Amino acid sequence: MNIYSINKNQQNNYIFTINVRDIINKDNFNKDGLKNNIFSLILDELKNEINFIKDKINENKKNYLTKESITALKVLEKSIDYFQSFIIPFSISSFFLSLPIAVAIGYAFLIFKFANNNFNILNKIISKISEKLQLNKINNILNKIGNLISYIPLYPTIKASINAKNQIIKTLDKLPLKTINKASIIEINNEINDKYDALGVTFNKITYVPIYLHSNPHPYTLEYVLTHELGHTNDFFNNIPLNYKSSILGLVPKFPFGFNKFVSDYAATKAAEDFAESFAYYYLNPNELKQTAPIKYYIIHFYNKTNFLEKIFDNKYIREIIKKISLLIPEPIRIILNILSFKSTTSSMKENISKLVKSNNENDFKSYINAKLNLLTTLLLINKSIYSIYTIPLKYGINKLVEKKIINENFANKLVNLVLSYTIGPLGTTIAYFLNSKNNKKEIALTGIANIIIFNLLKFLFPYLIPILIPLEKLSTFASLELVNKLNKK
């Protein structure tokens, strides 16, 4: 006797129907224990059906993410949460107070965040205060402002005498907009020579990046020192394609910066200075860089040449409007805008990581793809890439193609993976595929590493082919890892 019927509705949900007549029929009904009889029948039937139900659900469910990927994403989400709680108060206070005090304030907020997350009573108090002060509404408004600012490639705010300011603007005007929008502030400060024994200093304060210059940088020109320092700002932010990145916070050298031939003695001191010197030579003395270190020349050339999409922002009229607006922004406002931009992008990343995991668990393909594309946008915004604005039509286009059944879900997922792969580079792609592989992690790791080694060897042997080899390396890494997954399924 079956007391259940199992059917699937149009939304692919299972419907369970209990047949009450079978439960209380003559054979099952007795005056001593109707209640016990009903429950025993239900429990017996559940034991028989539960495995069948689980198998059917798992059979129809598409898990886009492995347990390792989900764990990594959750750790990243939590890390962003705690990192925000430290870095934002630290950044604000470091502008007004000394560094040790700013660090102490950052740690105080970090401890408070930890307590808020782990103690229910404090959490309830904070929730009540937030509700009374309407902090959530204020937070949403600030995030919208930060998000808007993130999409606009601004000129740095300049603090200098009229003559020095004109020299700085003249230098900035010669460079592509995408190479100067990483710096937040450029200030003439003659104390840096005594304090840091330098003619120019760039600080990566995470939320904003100030550049300090000496007014008379003898034996160099102001143009040279500024271009060198702008090289540091590009080094800080262009960390998605890892073989372009010369340093992560000045610690980790990457190919080819930090070894091989150097354009100056100062370039030989460390990887970060090698990149900044090569960057300055690329714009001010390109032939010498090309002859001395062709690998470095062609890598900088590939990542700094402006394509059609970037030239829209470099249009004379658009750029002039951006410049005039940027130069009107005072230093404190610029720092606040940068902090809001950082807060907005990191909050967006945290939110979309959560959506990615949730959509995977709920088998919601559209939300899954949108979360992935939103993560792509966030990665580009964090790196102050002009490309970020073009992800909006990309997301719309992919969703429309799936809705109209021009492409299927599997193809759409691969298309999004390709775009993400091209953005995060070969090493990032290898790590992502490694985490998301179920039983072929060794093959994934070996394939990805082999691909990186082969292409870097080719770059070393044929530097003039670097503009072709870099995109080929990214595409090859993606294609080879997809092939490994496909062969493993067979």
Q: Tokens 């940088």 belong to which residue?
A: 217
Which residue, chain included where needed, has tokens 């198998």? Answer: 55
Could you tell me the pTM of the whole model? 0.79
pLDDT surpassing 80 at residue 245: no
Residue 320 pLDDT: 95
pLDDT band of residue 249 (cuts 50, 70, 90) is very low
Could you name the CATH architecture of 157-324? Answer: 3-Layer(aba) Sandwich (3.40)
Most confident stretch, 249-253, 284-288, 464-468, 484-488? 284-288
124-156: pLDDT as tens digits:
665 666 666 666 677 788 888 888 888 889 999
Q: CB–CB of 82/66 below 8 Å?
A: no
Pair 173, 320: CB distance under 8 Å? no
Q: Where are the domains of the chain?
A: 4-60, 67-150, 157-324, 338-489
- Per the CB < 8 A criterion, the answer to whether 284 and 223 are in contact is yes
The per-residue pLDDT for range 1-50, each reduced to its tens digit, is: 454 455 555 545 545 455 545 544 545 445 455 445 555 655 565 555 55
- Give how far Cα 315 sits from Cα of 150, 306, 309, 343, Å: 19, 11, 11, 30
230 Cβ neighbours under 8 A, 6+ residues apart: 175, 179, 180, 182, 183, 211, 279
Nearest in space to 224 (alpha carbons), one of 197, 270, 268, 264: 264
Match 């139900």 to its residue by tokens. Answer: 53
Q: Which of 150, 204, 208 is nearest to 345 (CA)?
A: 150
Give the per-residue pLDDT at 168: 96
pLDDT in tens, 199-236: 999 998 888 999 999 988 888 899 999 999 999 998 88
Could you report the per-residue pLDDT of 366-408, keeping only the tens digit for each?
A: 899 999 999 989 988 888 888 888 888 988 999 899 888 898 8
What pLDDT, on the 0 to 100 scale, is given for residue 253? 53
User: Nearest-CA neighbor of 309 among 240, 237, 394?
Assistant: 394
What mean pLDDT do residues 175-202 have? 92
190-to-167, 186, 193, 197, 210 alpha-carbon distances in Å: 16, 13, 6, 11, 15
